[in-house]
Structure 1
Amino acid sequence: MNRLLFFLMLASITLCGCGGGPAPVPSKKHGESRALEASAYREHAGLINQNGKNIGYIEVKESDDEGSDIHISADHLPPGASLGFHIYEKGVCQTPDFESAGGPFNPLNKEHGFNNPMGHHAGDLPNLEVGADGKVDVIMNAPQTSLKEGSRLSLLDRDGSAFIIHEHTDDYLTNPSGNSGARIACAPLKKSARRE
C-alpha cells in the first residue's frame, strides 16, 4: 500500500513537471512599456472644465521627430463630439470662460487653420474625436512648438501656455479659432508644473 502511494505521488510530481519549466506568469511587459511611455512625458497639466472640476490631464514631451508630442486623457466631454483643440499663449485657466489664457499660441505670426493658405498657428491642433462614453485618450504632435527654454516656439516661456478644448468643431480655416465656439476646458502648462 505504501509502495502504491509512493508511485502515485511520484507520477503526480512527474506530470506536473512535464511542462518544461515553471507555470507561466502573466507578462508584465505591457505594464512596463506603459510606465516607460508615461515617464517620458516630463511636463504635466491638469485639465479642468468651466466649473473648475478636474476632468483629465495633458502631458507633453519633446518629440523624437519634430516639435512636441502631446498626450491628452480626458472624460466628461460631449459624447461623440468633434471638438476644437488649441494651444493658447498664457498658462492661466480662470473659470468659467478661460479668457485668461489669452490668444492663440502664434509665435510665427500666421493665420488660423490647417486649410488656411496664410496659416496655420503653431498652437493649432487636430480636432479631438470624443468617444460615445465622453472620453478621449490620444497622442498628437505639434511640430512648431518646443519645450526648450529660450526658443521662440517654447511652450514654457515666462508665462507658460494653456491647452484649450472648445465646444464645437474647428473648421481649420476661420480666425481666430476656426468657429469652434466657447472654451469649455483648460490645462495650464507652466515651468512650476514640471515633473522631474
Structure 2
Amino acid sequence: MNVRTTIARTSPLVIAALMLVAGAATGRADAGSHATATIVDQGGTAIGTATFFENPAGRVVVGVDVEGLSPGEHGMHLHTTGACIAGASPAFASAGGHFNPTGGVHGAHAGDLGNLSVNPQGNARTQFETAQFTLSPGLSSLLDGDGSALVIHRDPDDGVTDPAGNSGPRVACGALVAG
C-alpha cells in the first residue's frame, strides 16, 4: 500500500472526525440561529423589537428595545405560542402560558426573563445571555411548531408567585420569527 492509497482511505474518516469535533465544539447543530420579534402594544402599534441570537457556545443572547411603556419595572416572560393578537380580552391571551418545557417553578423556569426597567421617558433597552432555552431543535426550543412570544406585563414580576409572578395584565407582545 503506497502513501496515496493510505491517504485516500483515511481521508473520509479524518473528515468525519473533524466534522464531529467541530459540531461538539459549538454544542449546537444550529449555532448562529437567530430570531426577531416586533413588539406591539394593546392597540397593535409597534413599540419596539426583540432579537435572539444563538452563539457558538449554545447560549442565546437576547436584546429588547422598547418605547412608550409606563416608567418602572415590568415583568417580562416568554410564552408558549408565537401569536400576539392585540385588542383581544384578555390582552395577548393568544400567546398562551409561560414557556416552561421542563416544568420548573416560577422564578427559575425558562420563560422567566426578569423585570424590564423602563426609564421616566417610557423607554427600555436590555441585553442578556442565557442557556435556559435554545433556537435549535429540541425540547427547549423557542422555534417549535407554534413558535413563542415575548410578553411584557404591566407590573413587576415578584419572582415567586405562580404562574406569572403577580405581574399583572399583558401590555405588550412580540411573536418570534426565525431569521
TM over 0.5: yes
Following the alignment from structure 1 to structure 2, what is the Cα–Cα distance between the partners of residues 171 and 66? 29
| TM-score, scaled relative to structure 2 | 0.77
Tell me if structure 1 keeps the 8 A contact 2:80–2:98: yes
Tell me if structure 1 keeps the 8 A contact 2:33–2:136: no
Structure 2 match to 1:85: 76
Tell me if structure 1 keeps the 8 A contact 2:33–2:135: no
- Does 1:44 pair with 2:31? no
Question: Please, what is the CA RMSD of the aligned residues?
Answer: 1.5
- Does 1:170 pair with 2:157? yes
Structure 1 match to 2:19: none
Equivalent runs, 1:178-193 vs 2, <5 Å? 178-189=165-176, 193=177
Q: Which has the larger radius of gyration?
A: 1
Structure 2 match to 1:103: 97
Displacement, 1:42?
A: 3.0
Displacement, 1:172?
A: 0.3
Structure 1 counterpart of 2:133, one-letter code: T
Following the alignment from structure 1 to structure 2, what is the Cα–Cα distance between the partners of residues 166 and 141? 21
Structure 2 match to 1:9: none
SS of 1:100's partner is helix
Displacement, 1:140?
A: 1.6
Displacement, 1:194?
A: 2.8
Pairing partner for 1:124 from 112, 121, 128: 112
Q: Percent sequence identity over matched residues?
A: 38
Of Structure 1 and Structure 2, the greater strand share is in 2
Aligned length: 145
Unaligned segments of structure 1, at least 5 residues: 1-39, 114-119
Tell me if structure 2 keeps the 8 A contact 1:122–1:142: no
- Does 1:146 pair with 2:110? no
| TM-score, scaled relative to structure 1 | 0.70
Structure 1 match to 2:23: none
- Post-superposition Cα deviations, 1:114-153, rounded to whole Å, max 9, x if no partner, equal xxxxxx221101200111111111102232100002x100
